[in-house]
Amino acid sequence: MLTLHFAPNSRAGRIVWLLEELELPYEINKMAFHPKDLKSDEHRARHPLGRVPVLDDGDVRIFESGAIVEYVIARHKNGSLKPEVDNPLFPEFLQWFHYCEGMVMPPVNTIVVQTLLLPPDRRDETALGQAQRLVSKALVPVDEALAGLDYLIGDFSAADIMLGHACFMSNRLGCVGDDMPNLKAYVERVAARPAFKTAIEMQ
């Protein structure tokens, strides 16, 4: 049985979404998004920095959401949710899969810190504004790539699990403008998926 160590409003939501899409049985160890749980000795034994998600699969323990996604689809679903290596779409799949953490999530993290995690007297409006501009700029190529497509490479794939989750969060943070109609419609499609709804309801 797969066990997912989870905290609300984190990248662990991606893994719930993935497991639901693949209809894999799993258990949830739900923790508070708070140091008393995440920085506990018990959880630091799972993740050295006290973060989520962490996935246990028998004797295997793995963290980092992208690594977990790749592990699960390779180990448990024989490579589903991604094109074969010789498929012309495979490079594009890899590009958008990794674009999420490379380009979108770093400034999103800053926005979350500056608007939610820090007390008001420690927030930096300059850092916040810069991060908001960076997210919007990073999402322009995604909006352009989605022209005429329902999902990032046409059919739903693990790239959507990664980047789609980030786009949803970016939209929630007000970083997807009306000048990105393809991305707005994409976020609505993502949010309408039953497996995604299950993941979000756990937040």
Helix (H, G, I), strand (E, B) or coil at 64: coil
Give, as one character, the DSSP assignment of residue 104.
I
Segment 36-44 mean pLDDT: 96
Are 94 and 33 in the same domain? no
CATH number at residue 120: 1.20.1050.10
pLDDT for 84 equals: 96
pLDDT at 18: 98
Look at the chain and report how many structural domains it folds into: 2
- Read off the CATH number of the domain in which 38 is found: 3.40.30.10
- State how far the Cα of 103 lies from the Cα of 105, in Å rounded to an integer: 6
Q: Assess whether 48 and 99 both reside in one domain.
A: no
Same domain, 69 and 97: no
83 domain residue, yes or no: no
Residue 198: per-residue pLDDT: 96
- From 75, 110, 138, the end of a domain falls on 75
Residue 78: predicted pLDDT: 86
Residue 201 included in any domain: no
In a shared domain, residues 103 and 166: yes
State which of 44, 75, 106 marks the end of a domain: 75
Q: Based on the fold, state whether residues 68 and 125 are members of the same structural domain.
A: no
Rounded percentage of the chain residues whose pLDDT exceeds 70: 100
Asked if residue 203 belongs to a domain, the reply is no
Whether 125 and 62 map to the same domain: the answer is no
The mean pLDDT of 31-49, rounded to a whole number, is: 95
Residue 191: which pLDDT band, with cuts at 50, 70 and 90? very high
Whole-number pLDDT of residue 202 = 84
Span 42-60, pLDDT tens digits = 999 999 999 999 999 999 9
- For residues 67 and 128, membership in a common domain is answered with no
Does residue 124 share a domain with residue 44? no
Looking at the structure, do residues 161 and 96 belong to the same domain, yes or no?
yes
Residue 203 has pLDDT above 80, yes or no: no
Name the residue among 165, 163, 18 with its Cα closest to residue 97: 163
Which domain covers residue 41, as residue numbers? 2-75
The DSSP code sequence of 129-155 is HHHHHHHHHHHHHHHHHTTT-SBTBBB
pLDDT tens sequence across 57-110 = 999 999 999 999 999 999 999 889 999 999 999 999 999 999 999 999 999 999
Ramachandran angles phi, psi of 28, nearest 5°: -115, 130
> Over pLDDT 90: what percentage of the chain?
96
Q: Hey, is 118 helix, strand or coil?
A: coil
Please indicate, yes or no, whether residues 109 and 154 belong to a single structural domain of this protein.
Answer: yes
pTM confidence score? 0.95
Residue 199 forms part of a structural domain? no
pLDDT at 178 over 80: yes
- The residues facing 47 across adjacent strands are none
Contacts for 100-106 with beta carbons within 8 Å, 24 or more apart? 100/66, 100/162, 100/163, 100/165, 100/166, 101/66, 101/162, 103/138, 104/135, 104/138, 104/139, 104/142, 104/163, 104/166, 104/167, 104/170, 105/166, 106/134
Q: How far apart are the first and last CA of the chain?
A: 22
State the greatest distance between any 2 C-alpha atoms of the chain, in Å, as a whole number. 53
- Residue 23 located in a structural domain: yes
Number of residues written out for the chain: 203
In this structure, is residue 84 part of a structural domain?
no
Question: Domain for residue 29, yes or no?
Answer: yes
Do residues 168 and 115 share a domain?
Answer: yes
